[in-house]
Amino acid sequence: MKGLLVSGTASGVGKTTVALAIMAGLRRRGLVVQPFKCGPDFLDTSHHTRTCGRPAQNLDTWMLGTEANRSVLRNGARGADIVVAEGMMGLFDGKSGSTEIGSSAEIAKLLKLPVVLVVDAGKSARSVAAVVLGFEMFDVELPLAGVILNRVASNRHYDMLCEAIGSACKTKVLGWLPTEPTIAIPERHLGLHGSAEQSVGDQEASMDALASLAEKYLNLDGLLGLECGLEMIENSPARAVDSLSRDAVRVGVPSDHAFSFYYEDNLDMLREHGVEIVRFSPLNDTSLPADLDALYLGGGYPELHAGRLSSNREMLEDVRAFAASGRPVYAECGGMLYLGERLDVGDESYAMAGVLPLSMQMTQALVQFGYATIEFVEDCLLGHKGTVVRGHSFHYSKIASRGELGMSYHVQYSMSGKEEMEGFRRGNVLASYIHLHFRANPAVAENFVTAIRHAQSSRAVTA
C-alpha cells in the first residue's frame, strides 16, 4: 500500500495546506486517496474529507492502543490506492517533553508510515539545512522520507535551499510551495474554519488550486514511491453493516454548520452494531427525522449560530419531546450546550432545548484542554460502573449554573492533572464536555446500542 505521513517542524508551518495539496494532486491523477489525521482533531478532518471524497479517520496513540490504531488504518485504507496522514503539532511533540508518547513520530513508527517533513522556509536560507539535519539526527529509528519546503519566495530561493540541504543532509527535497493567499484557511477560537463553511463553488475552486499547486511544485512521482510498511487487509470494499440478524436502530446525528465534531470511527463502530446513522440539521430542519431510536449530539459551533438555533422553536420542542419519551440521548460538548436551558454569548442570552437544567456561558479563554481518562462511577447509557475510556476536551465555555443532575464520570485530565466529577445524567440523557473515542474501549459503542435496543423494546411493550 502506498502511504505517507505529512508532519511539520512545529505547528503553523503549513502542514495542513501541504497535506491537502498532496491529496488534491493525487486525486487529480485519478487515485483513490484515504486521509487520516493524527490527534483529536475535527476541523482538519473536514477538509481532508472534502478533498478526498472519503471520510477522514483519526489516529491517536494516547486515546487508542496499538492494535486499535492499526485497525483504524487498515479499515480506512480498504479500497484506496494510497493513504495520506497529516500529523499534529511538530513531528516529535506529544504528551511530554521526554518521550515520543502521543506524537506523530510514534504514530509513524507504529504504522510504518514514511514521514514527509514540512519546513517553513519563508525567512530562511542556509540555516534550513541545520533544521533538517537536526530532525534527521534526533531519532535515527525514524528516517525521513522527504522534505517539502513551504512559503518559498521564488525559484532562486528554492535552489538556494536545496543546495544547503543537499550539502549537509541525506533527506530528499520533494518539492516546495509558495505563499498563496487564495488557499489560506481562516481560523477562529477552536482552530481552522470547517470545510462546510465554504460554498460548493469555493470548495471546488480551492481543490482545483491545490491540485494545480501540487502538479507545479511538488514531486508527486516521488511521493507515490513511498510505501506504508504495515501489512494491510486485502484491498476490498468496506465491510457491510452486520445487521442481518438484527433490526437496525436509527440514531439521529445533527450535521450542519453548528454540529460537525464527530470521530468517524465512532460512527463506524455504531454501524458495525447495526445502527443506521440518520443525519439532520437543527439549524434548517423544523423537526427530527421520523422513527428515531436515539440521538447522538456531537460538538461544533452552536455559539456561532445560537440565534438561529434558538429561533427554531419547532426543532427545540421536538428535541424536548424526544428526550421526554424515554429514548436515549447522548451529547458531547456543543451538543450539551444545545440541550441546556440557556446559552450566553457575550451580552446576548439564547434559549436552548431545556432538556437539562444547565445555563452555559461562552468564555474568552480556553477553559479545559487536553486528553482525559474517564471512569464510569455508575451504570450509565454508555456502560457499566468501572468502565474506563479515553477522550479529549477542548472548549471555550463554562457552566454558569446547574440544577439537580446525576454525574456518571470521574474525569482525570492528562495535562493539568485535574480531577472532577462530570458526565451529567438525567434519566435517559447523558451529556459531557468530553469527546470520547469509542475505539479506546469498544464496549462503549456496544453498550450504547444495547441501551438503545432496551429502550426500543420497553417502548414496544408499553405502546
Claim to verify: residue 26 and residue 104 sit in the same structural domain: yes
Claim to verify: residue 306 and residue 422 sit in the same structural domain: yes
8 Å CB contact between 45 and 58: yes
8 Å CB contact between 132 and 13: no
Claim to verify: residue 121 and residue 194 sit in the same structural domain: yes
Arithmetic mean of pLDDT, 193-206: 63
Claim to verify: residue 210 and residue 300 sit in the same structural domain: no
Claim to verify: residue 146 and residue 278 sit in the same structural domain: no
Q: Which residue has the higher pLDDT, 185 or 429?
A: 429
Arithmetic mean of pLDDT, 316-331: 98
Report if residue 437 sits inside a domain. yes
**Tens of pLDDT, residues 403-431:** 999 999 999 998 889 999 999 999 999 99
Report if residue 242 sits inside a domain. no
Q: For the chain, what is the domain count? A: 2
Check whether 236 has a pLDDT greater than 60: no
- What pLDDT is recorded for position 196? 53
Report if residue 349 sits inside a domain. yes
Report if residue 234 sits inside a domain. no
Report if residue 107 sits inside a domain. yes
Claim to verify: residue 68 and residue 206 sit in the same structural domain: yes
Arithmetic mean of pLDDT, 198-226: 88
Claim to verify: residue 288 and residue 165 sit in the same structural domain: no
- Name the least confident of 15-24, 91-100, 125-134, 294-303: 91-100
- What pLDDT is recorded for position 96? 84
Claim to verify: residue 145 and residue 38 sit in the same structural domain: yes
Q: Which residue has the higher pLDDT, 391 or 368?
A: 391
Check whether 200 has a pLDDT greater than 90: no
Claim to verify: residue 254 and residue 213 sit in the same structural domain: no
Arithmetic mean of pLDDT, 11-22: 96
Q: Domain ends where: 173, 190, 224?
A: 224
Q: Domain ends where: 224, 241, 269?
A: 224
CA 341 – CA 42 distance, rounded (Å): 26
Q: 297 pairs with which residues across the strands?
A: 331
Q: What's the CA angle centered on 5, arms 27 and 413, to 5 degrees?
A: 125
Check whether 240 has a pLDDT greater than 50: no
**Tens of pLDDT, residues 40-79:** 999 999 999 999 999 999 999 999 999 999 999 999 999 9
Report if residue 233 sits inside a domain. no
- What pLDDT is recorded for position 182? 66
8 Å CB contact between 52 and 99: no
CA 70 – CA 233 distance, rounded (Å): 11
Largest CA distance in the chain: 78
**Tens of pLDDT, residues 138-174:** 999 998 999 999 999 999 999 999 999 999 999 999 9
- pTM exceeds 0.85 for this model: yes
Nearest to 175 by CA among 3, 2, 17, 31: 17
- What pLDDT is recorded for position 63? 96
Report DSSP state, residue 99: S
**Tens of pLDDT, residues 248-306:** 899 999 999 999 999 999 999 999 999 999 999 999 999 999 999 999 999 999 999 99
Report if residue 390 sits inside a domain. yes
CA 305 – CA 217 distance, rounded (Å): 39
Give one DSSP letter per residue of 270-316, joined into a string.
Answer: HHHTTEEEEEE-TTT-SSPPTT--EEEE-EE-GGGGHHHHHH-HHHH
Q: Domain ends where: 207, 224, 241?
A: 224
CATH number of the domain that residue 89 is part of: 3.40.50.300
Nearest to 291 by CA among 336, 330, 325, 268: 325
- Evaluate the CA torsion angle 19, 230, 268, 371 in order and state its sign: negative
Q: Which domain holds residue 156?
A: 2-224
Tell me what percent of the residues of the chain surpass a pLDDT of 70: 92
181's grid cell: 493567499
CATH number of the domain that residue 256 is part of: 3.40.50.880
| C-alpha distances out from residue 240 to 171, 275, 317, Å | 42, 12, 35
Report if residue 261 sits inside a domain. yes
Q: From the candidates 38, 169, 228, 333, which is the catalytic residue?
A: 333
Claim to verify: residue 191 and residue 264 sit in the same structural domain: no
- What pLDDT is recorded for position 366? 84
Claim to verify: residue 457 and residue 418 sit in the same structural domain: yes
Other C-beta atoms within 10 Å of 181: how many? 5
The strand pair at 259-261 and 299-300 is best described as antiparallel
Check whether 190 has a pLDDT greater than 90: no
Sheet of 33-38, strand order: 57-59, 33-38, 82-86, 2-8, 115-120, 144-152, 173-178
333 catalytic, yes or no?
A: yes
* Predicted confidence band of residue 246 (pLDDT cuts 50, 70, 90): low
Claim to verify: residue 347 and residue 401 sit in the same structural domain: yes
User: Mean pLDDT score of the chain, rounded to an integer?
Assistant: 93
Nearby residues of 17 by Cβ (< 8 Å), 6 or more positions away: 150, 177, 183, 184, 185, 210
